[in-house]
Amino acid sequence: MSALSLRIEQVAGILEGYASRGVFRGFSRGAARQGKAVFKMTWHKDRSFELIVDAKRNTLRIPVVLPEVPSNSAMYRELEQFLESRESPTLPEHRRIHTAKARIRAANRGGNVSVTLTVQDGDFEYGARKLINTIHEIFMDFLSDGRYYEYQLEKFNLDPDQV
């Protein structure tokens, strides 16, 4: 097995473990080609997410974490700060992303916010766990503090009586 295939298999193993424990409500794996693979899962707010592994570039990317967020908005700036805070040495060890191992960043293309984790040291298992944990924290911490209640109702078609 090539080094690129091994990296993809490491990520697949982590994601399959989450799926078997019920973290994702749906999970599928696409074919790997030229060091790239796409995984699909149904997750927060019953939304479909894609996770793209690019083993050549050492990246794991979720292209649409949050839809329709203007790039010049306070929400986007606050999300960037939230992601930056995940690398802070003041966070507990199990929640922190060690910058010697990985870096995490957001990008905004046409209002769709993507999150990319770049693996620094080849440990794709660590990278997959940290990316999934960070996305989970976006939904459970960042979005749940009350400031983005209206955003969630509108963009995720939530019933206000069920939130």
Instruction: Give 113's strand partners.
Output: 66, 108
pLDDT above 80 (res 162): no
pLDDT band at 130 (very low <50, low <70, confident <90, very high): very high
What does the pLDDT read at residue 122?
95
Q: pLDDT for 40-65, tens place per residue?
A: 999 998 899 999 999 999 999 999 99
Strand partners, 72: none
pLDDT beyond 60 at 100: yes
Q: What is the pTM of this model?
A: 0.94
Burial of 38 (0-12, 13-18, 19+ CB in 10 A): middle
Give me the domains of the chain, ranges plus CATH numbers. Answer: 3-155 (3.30.1460)
